[in-house]
Copies of this chain bind each other. A is one copy, B any other.
Amino acid sequence: MSIDVGIYGATGYTGLELIRLLAGHPHASIRFATSEASAGQSLRQSWPLAPDLTLVPSADAPLDEVQAVFLCLPHTRSAPLAAQALGRGVRVVDLSADLRLDDPAVYAQWYKVDHPHPELLPRPYGLPELGRDNLIGAECIANPGCYATSVLLATVPLARHDLLIPGAPLIVDAKSGVSGAGRTPKQNILFAEVHGNFSPYNIGRGHRHLAEIEQVLAAEGSQAGPLIFSPHLLPTDRGILSTVYAQVTDAGAARAAFTTAYAGEPLVRVLPDGELATLRHVVNTPAAALSLTPAGDNLLIVVSVIDNLLKGAASQAVQNFNLMWNLPETTGLAAC
């Protein structure tokens, strides 16, 4: 079986990864890839083993020739293309934020703009290790945010086992590589600004991924207090490490909650006692890793790591694509 696919927004960092992964995927054939600014350029400039295609403006993308599209576009620009594709029977993996929040009012609150296609909502949230029933055979999947992926893998098992102390703040100190800030030139992400630097941003209750994290935690029955989420910009290109400080009823019971949750999952590793998760565990891989460190009976430190462009975006999108077409979930990820 070979599924013809298209990629919208192929020259951002996530799009570049998707070209690489899909070029090596045994059951996908890239038929088009779009870029407004780089139209006409060969895909092989992005990835030497890519198919011999040139980038096209999104208006020229031959949507009729594909069975699925990946949307690597900014929020508000993604939903209209999702609507168009679904209208023609083309399946959609949306890597933007447009389909992640079930409630358009919450979207409007966090993104300061009305949702462009509220009729598309809700859609299944594509974090397979937290539940893949709704993803198998789905027509359209909302690919999770990178920070959200890292935080949810670290906290949902606690919520499911009622280990979070009701009302206590859930503190997440997160750090991300610079590719998470996108590829549009801004002074604060210039090399000479970031090299040798490390900087917090939007700390406390300011980051948009709070909305999708809290939506999932609430659905999982979490009684924890407010999520305090403090992202920082790391002087590296890729990777997210979230250090989670969870006040728990029984730190000793936490390990079982995690090993149960991820038993048999090839892409989520719960590290043994004494080994702490680091970016090196996962950068340039499709996997997540988690370490658990109790500090007393009622505080658990979970360190959760992913590659923001892979498990936090492109390789998770391939997992979702595989589930959508009933392919083995890690197809095409073996040597990513």
The interface of chain A, by Cβ under 8 A from chain B, is 13, 20-21, 23-25, 44, 47-49, 169, 171, 173, 175, 177-179, 181, 183-187, 189-201, 203-205, 226, 228, 230, 232, 234-239, 241, 243, 245, 247, 266-267, 269, 276-287, 289, 291, 293-296, 299, 301, 303, 330, 332-336
Contact = CB atoms under 8 A, between A and B. Distances in A.
A199 B237 contact: no
B198 A278 contact: yes
B237 A236 contact: no
A183 B192 contact: yes
A85 to B, nearest CB: 25
A278 B228 contact: no
A279 B190 contact: no
A47 B285 contact: yes
B296 A203 contact: no
A299 B296 CA distance: 21
A329 to B, nearest CB: 12
Nearest to A227: B295
Given A49-B330, A175-B198, A196-B236, 16 more contacts: A21-B335, A48-B281, A48-B285, A49-B287, A49-B334, A173-B173, A175-B232, A181-B192, A183-B192, A185-B186, A185-B187, A191-B235, A195-B237, A199-B279, A200-B241, A200-B278
Contact of A193 (B195, B266, B280, B294): B280
A196 to B, nearest CB: 5
A192 B226 contact: no
A303 B282 CA distance: 28
A133 to B, nearest CB: 24
Contacts of A196: 196, 236-239, 279-280, 283
Nearest to A201: B276
User: Quick one: copies of this chain in the complex?
Assistant: 4
A245 B228 contact: yes
Contact of A335 (B232, B237, B238, B332): B332
Contacts of A194: 191
B301 A204 contact: yes
A302 B191 CA distance: 26
Tell which of A189, A196, A277 has the most Cβ of chain B within 10 Å: A196
A203 B293 contact: yes
Contacts of A197: 236, 239, 278-280, 283
A24 B334 contact: yes
Contacts of A299: 169, 204, 228
A173 to B, nearest CB: 4
Nearest to A268: B48
Nearest to A266: B49
Nearest to A298: B169
Nearest to A22: B335
A173 B232 CA distance: 11
A200 B296 CA distance: 18
Closest 8 CB pairs of A and B: A24-B335, A204-B295, A199-B278, A185-B185, A24-B334, A173-B173, A191-B194, A48-B287
